[in-house]
A and B are shown apart, each in its own frame.
Chain A
Amino acid sequence: MLKVDNLRLGFTAGKKTLAAVDGISFSIDKGETFALLGESGCGKSATAQGIMRLLPAAGRILEGRVALEGEPLLSLSEADMRAYRGGRMAMIFQEPATSLNPVLTVGRQIGEVLERHLNLRGNAATERMVDLLRQVGIADPERRLTEYPFQLSGGMKQRVMIAIALAGEPELLIADEPTTALDVTVQAQILDLLAKIQVDRGMGMLLITHDLGVVARMAHRIGVMYAGELVEVASREEFFTQPRHPYTQALFEALPEISRRGLKLTTIPGQVPSLAAMPSGCRFADRCAHVMAVCREVSPPWREVANGHTVRCHWQGEAAEESATRHAVTELDIDPGKAFLQVGDLKVHFPIRKGFLQRTVGHVRAVDGVSLAISAGRTLALVGESGCGKTTVGKALLQLIQPTAGSVKLGGSELVGLKGRRLRDARRHMQMIFQDPFASLNPRLRVGEIIAEGMGALGVETDSTARAAAVAALLQQVGLASEAIDRYPHEFSGGQRQRIAIARALAVQPELLICDEPTSALDVSVQAQILNLLKKLQAELGVAYLFITHNFAVVEYLAHDVAVMYLGRIVEQGRAEEILRLPRHPYTQALLSAVPAPHLDGHAEVIRLPGETPSPANPPSGCHFHPRCPQAMDVCRLNYPTVTGVSGTHTVSCHLVG
Chain B
Amino acid sequence: MMGFQVVVLWSDILIWLLVAAGVGVGVLIAKTPPLLAAWRRVGANRVGMASATVLLAFILIGLLDSLHYRAQLESKPGQKAVYAIEVLSVLDALAAPLRSRNEKTYSAPFATRLYAKETIDLPGQGTVRDYPRLKHGGKHLGEREDEVAEDAAFTAFKAGVLAFIGWLGVFAAVATVNRKKSPKLKLREAAFAWDAVLLTLLLILVFAVPLFWLSGYYHVFGTDKVGQDVLYQILKSVRTGLIIGLVTTLVMLPMAVLLGIVAGYFRGWVDDLIQYIYTVLNSIPGVLLIAAAVLMMQVVIDTNPQWFSTAAERADLRLLALCFILGITSWTGLCRLLRGETLKLRELEYIQAAQAFGVSSWRIIVRHILPNLMHIVIIALVMDFSGLVLAEAVLSYVGIGVDPTMTSFGTMINNARMELGREPVVWWSLVAAFSAMFILVLAANLFADAVRDAFDPRAA
Contacts and interface: CB of A to CB of B under 8 A. Distances in A.
Nearest to A430: B356
B357 A453 contact: yes
Interface stretch (A86-94, A440-448, A541-549, A610-618): A440-448
A457 interface: yes
Interface string B350-385: 101111111110010001100110000000000000
B353 to A, nearest CB: 6
A508 interface: yes
Contacts of A453: 354, 357, 359, 367
Interface in B327-354: 348-350, 352-354
Nearest to A487: B33
A439 B349 contact: yes
A440 B353 contact: yes
B460 interface: yes
Contacts of B169: none
Given A434-B349, A436-B349, A444 B356 contact: no
A427 B356 contact: yes
A432 interface: yes
B34 interface: yes
Given A442-B372, A444-B372, A490-B460, A434 B358 contact: no
A254 to B, nearest CB: 25
Given A435-B349, A436-B349, A444-B34, A427 B367 contact: no
**Chain A: number of interface residues, binned into ranges:** 20 to 34
B357 A400 contact: no
Interface string A432-473: 101110011111110000100110011000000000000000
Contacts of B354: 453, 457
Interface of A: 395, 398, 400, 423-424, 427, 430-432, 434-436, 439-445, 450, 453-454, 457-458, 488, 490, 501, 504-505, 508
B352, B355, B358, B371, most chain A CB atoms within 10 A: B358
A431 B356 contact: yes
Contacts of A424: 358
Nearest to B360: A457
Contacts of A436: 349
Contacts of B353: 432, 434, 440, 501, 504-505
B357 A488 contact: no
A440 B359 contact: no
Contacts of B348: 439-440
Contacts of A423: 358
A445 B372 CA distance: 10
A443 B34 contact: yes
10 closest cross-chain pairs (CB), A and B? A440-B349, A424-B358, A434-B349, A454-B357, A444-B371, A457-B359, A457-B357, A442-B350, A427-B358, A439-B349
A434 B353 CA distance: 8
A619 B320 CA distance: 62
Contact of B357 (A442, A444, A490, A508): A508
A427 B354 CA distance: 11
Contacts of B350: 439-442, 450
Nearest to A505: B353
A232 B305 CA distance: 90
10 contacts: A423-B358, A432-B353, A435-B349, A442-B371, A445-B368, A453-B354, A457-B357, A458-B357, A488-B33, A488-B34
A427 B350 CA distance: 16
Contacts of A490: 460
A434 B352 contact: yes
Given A442-B372, A444-B372, A490-B460, A458 B34 contact: no
B280 to A, nearest CB: 17
Contacts of A427: 356-358
Contacts of A432: 352-353, 356
Nearest to A424: B358
Contacts of A458: 357-358
Contacts of A457: 354, 357-360, 363
A377 B311 CA distance: 80
Contacts of B363: 457
B190 to A, nearest CB: 15
B454 to A, nearest CB: 15
A443 B356 contact: no
Given A398-B356, A440-B349, 11 more contacts: A400-B352, A427-B358, A432-B352, A434-B352, A440-B348, A440-B353, A450-B350, A457-B357, A457-B358, A457-B359, A457-B363
A498 to B, nearest CB: 12
Contact of B355 (A400, A441, A444): A400
Contacts of B367: 442, 445, 453
Contacts of B355: 400
Nearest to A516: B349
Nearest to B351: A442
Contacts of B357: 427, 431, 453-454, 457-458, 508
A398 B355 CA distance: 9
Contacts of A440: 348-350, 353
Contacts of B368: 442, 445
A508 B358 CA distance: 11
A514 to B, nearest CB: 9
Nearest to A490: B460
Nearest to B355: A400
A18 to B, nearest CB: 17
A439 B358 CA distance: 19
Contacts of B460: 490
A508 B353 CA distance: 12
Contacts of A395: 352
Contacts of B352: 395, 400, 432, 434
A420 B211 CA distance: 69
Contacts of B360: 457
Nearest to A425: B358
B356 A400 contact: yes
A443 B372 contact: yes
B176 to A, nearest CB: 27
Most B-side CB within 10 Å, residue of A423, A431, A435, A443: A443
A395 B349 CA distance: 11
Interface string B305-319: 000000000000000
B38 to A, nearest CB: 11
B270 to A, nearest CB: 15
A424 B355 CA distance: 10
A508 to B, nearest CB: 7
B349 to A, nearest CB: 4
Contacts of B371: 442, 444
Contacts of A450: 350
A501 B352 CA distance: 12
A542 B349 CA distance: 25
A450 B368 CA distance: 10
B383 to A, nearest CB: 22
B440 to A, nearest CB: 32
Contacts of A444: 32, 34, 371-372
A537 to B, nearest CB: 18
B371 to A, nearest CB: 4
In this complex, the member of A434, A436, A501, A505 whose beta carbon has the largest number of chain B beta carbons within 10 angstroms is A434
A444 to B, nearest CB: 4
A427 B355 CA distance: 10
Nearest to B33: A488
B193 to A, nearest CB: 14
B350 to A, nearest CB: 5
A395 B355 CA distance: 11
Interface in B108-151: none
Contacts of B33: 488
Interface in B34-52: 34
A230 B78 CA distance: 98
Residue of B352, B367, B368, B372 contacting most chain A CB atoms (<10 Å)? B352
A439 B368 CA distance: 12
A510 to B, nearest CB: 10
A465 to B, nearest CB: 21
**Interface hub of A427, A430, A444 (most chain B Cβ within 10 A):** A444
